[in-house]
Amino acid sequence: MIVGALQVRLLIRESRSLKDKRRVISSIKDRLRNAFGVSVAEVENQDHRQLAVLGIAIVGNDSREITSVLDKMVDALRSHPIAELLDYERKL
């Protein structure tokens, strides 16, 4: 069993309140879960209206496949129209 983890830091410039941020983050989490079959949680900066840190986990038996899925998620987050990907850290 191989566990892949991804931590991403996002900036949501248009967020004027925590409610705005939650709406955007909820949409991102749902999209990642549905598209990639991963577990996603906001793990830091819950009280900051424009910054979000998401923890993403995936389990499988092929490290190349897990790495590929993690890379595809990073690409998807880079092209998000509202949230800007500031940085990320990937672990296997």
Cα 76–5–24 angle (5° rounding)? 40
The domain defined by 2-91 folds into: Alpha-Beta Plaits (3.30.70)
> What is each CA distance from 42 to 11, 62, 64, 65, 81, in whole angstroms?
13, 26, 26, 24, 19
Q: What is the pLDDT of residues 18-40, one digit of tens each?
A: 999 999 999 999 999 999 999 99
Written as six digits, the tokens of 39 are: 């577990």
Q: pTM of the predicted model, to two decimals?
A: 0.90
Domain boundaries, the chain: 2-91
Q: What is the pLDDT of residues 47-75, one digit of tens each?
A: 899 999 999 999 999 999 999 999 999 99
